[in-house]
């Protein structure tokens, strides 16, 4: 594998309901539709504020964990990186 490529784990939704779509269309996706369309110049503090606005009842720890996950997807995933997922029906 090329040195600058990474391997990521992306779950295919609850119960792996997106697995066929991932494989058929050669795509991956994450949730968080409530955040809306993210601007291309978004920084991590702005992302954290979006989470706070949409989930004001969450603890700082939960918010931080979710911000970290979305930030990595938004900022670190690249076309050509490898992705593995989990098929919950094939345990």
DSSP string, 42-76: --HHHHHHHHHHH-TTS-HHHHHHHHHHHHHHHHT
Could you read off the pLDDT tens digit of each residue along the chain, which spans 91 residues? 566 788 999 999 889 999 999 999 998 888 888 888 889 899 999 999 999 999 999 999 999 999 999 999 998 998 889 999 988 887 6
* Cα→Cα distances 88→34, 55, 69, Å: 25, 28, 21
- Whether this prediction's pTM lies above 0.75 is answered by yes
């Amino acid at each position: 594998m090329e040195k600058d490529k990474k391997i990521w784990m992306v779950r295919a939704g609850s119960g792996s309901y997106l697995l066929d779509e991932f494989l058929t269309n050669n795509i991956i996706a994450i949730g968080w539709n409530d955040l809306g369309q993210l601007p291309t110049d978004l920084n991590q503090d702005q992302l954290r504020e979006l989470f706070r606005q949409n989930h004001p009842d969450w603890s700082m720890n939960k918010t931080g964990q979710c911000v970290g996950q979305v930030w990595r997807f938004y900022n670190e995933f690249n076309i050509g990186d490898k992705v593995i997922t989990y098929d919950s029906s094939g345990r």
